[in-house]
Structure 1
Amino acid sequence: MKRILLVRHGESEWNAIRRLQGQADIDLSERGREQARALAPMVASFRPGLVMTSDLKRAVQTAALLGYPEAGHEPMLREQDVGTWTGAEIAHLMANAPAAYAGWRAGTFAPENGEIWADFRARIARVIEKALAAEADTILMVCHGGVIRAALDGTLGLAPARIIPVGPASLTILAFPKGEARLEVFNTTAFAPVIDAPD
């Protein structure tokens, strides 16, 4: 049976100050490095036969700390492009553009020059298809919170408005018995789960 392990990168320097990153290439914080190291034994227990990572630094660094420094870089696993909101403080958006921010979280609004949710979901669906076509039964994807929400929307029909942002260095598992997706694990960590993670 095919399984896809989806790991969100550890806390980044911008996550720590609750600033939207999108495709900005931000390093892990020291806490994020510790989180990734803590998750490594759990991920290793699944013995992934193929490891793919977003090519953004925070995901590449997480993959290396999980024990996969040679993971293949996959640009299609990048986070959703948030356009002019890149670098914006989440608190500022929530205070000054609450409807727009809620719409973005629900997948119904894109900031100027940002990626439309349907296009983002389709991009992630192509990566999922690529993974399912691979020889390996267990595929690890080290990626981003939005990528995981898009994967759940595309495979299970779980709209982003119905999914909390997954925590840093968390594991979500999709299994495909007889080719149909099923959610086996969501947002699990090696520490107390984070249920109010920044996007």
Structure 2
Amino acid sequence: MKRLLLVRHGESEWNSIRRLQGQADISLSERGRAQALALKNTVADLAPDRVATSDLSRARVTAELLGFPQAERRTDLRENHVGDWTGQGIADLVAADPTAYAGWRAGTHTPPGGESWAGFAGRTRKAVLSLSEETAATLLVVAHGGVIRALLESFLGISPKRIIPVGPASLTILRRQGESLTDMRLELFNYSPTGPILDAPD
């Protein structure tokens, strides 16, 4: 694999009302579908030769709208499991315990019943390494904001607390520099053909 394309799913119904979803299987909003379609030509021009997606519907449908209905569906590309926080409003979580929420965003706090950041980062890194072994040139992964932040930490060493929320239906690109997949460079972050996304929901 020479290049890794990372796309966050389009806006979901819960993204639109700032509700934390984790691994809840929430559908795309109409705006989210339009966002995915707007990105389609950009991704097509990059001609990925292998495509994988989280099996959750918001990612899977995004992959379909990008033109890849046969994308490989993988449970190991699911979003971070947020346990008891699933379905709660982000503003409510921040109001109840701002330190805990900030810690979760930084990868240092695990919600009750949730998945640790270390376990999540390890899971998603292993998934991409496995996919890369059979990818000749360009791998496209359609997944979630947390997955992309975890991969940026795994392959670039960027702490999650230093990364803004990844925009819906945005494109991030990593390029391999040397022989090892650990030698990756950031080519593009959070690109959307509709303009900058600076206030994306978690």
TM-score bucket (shorter structure):
over 0.9
Shift of 1:127: 1.3
- The partner residue of 1:190 within 175, 189, 193 is 193
Q: Indicate whether 1:50 and 2:50 are aligned.
A: yes
Write the mapping of 1:1-199 to structure 2, written as runs, cut at 5 A: 2-178=2-178, 179=180, 180-199=183-202
Shift of 1:94: 1.1
Shift of 1:78: 0.2
* CA deviation vs aligned residue, 1:89-135 (integer Å, no higher than 9, x gap): 00111111100000000000011011100000000110121122113
SS of the equivalent of 2:46 reads coil
Name the count of aligned residue pairs. Answer: 199
Shift of 1:172: 0.3
Amino acid paired to 1:44: A
What's the RMSD between the two structures over aligned residues? 0.8
Taking only the aligned residue pairs, the percentage that are identical comes to 59
* CA deviation vs aligned residue, 1:37-94 (integer Å, no higher than 9, x gap): 0000000010000000000000000000000011010110000000000001001111
* CA deviation vs aligned residue, 1:166-197 (integer Å, no higher than 9, x gap): 10000000111212111100000011221111
Q: TM-score, normalised by structure 2?
A: 0.97
The runs of 5 or more residues in structure 2 that have no matched partner are: none
The runs of 5 or more residues in structure 1 that have no matched partner are: none
- Distance, in Å, in 1 between the alignment partners of 2:136 and 2:172 is 18
Q: Which runs of 4+ in 1 moved over 3 A?
A: none
- Distance, in Å, in 2 between the alignment partners of 1:103 and 1:28 is 28
- Distance, in Å, in 2 between the alignment partners of 1:192 and 1:57 is 25
Amino acid paired to 2:67: G
- Distance, in Å, in 1 between the alignment partners of 2:64 and 2:135 is 22
- Distance, in Å, in 2 between the alignment partners of 1:136 and 1:154 is 21
Amino acid paired to 2:43: V
- Distance, in Å, in 2 between the alignment partners of 1:49 and 1:12 is 27
Q: TM-score, normalised by structure 1?
A: 0.98
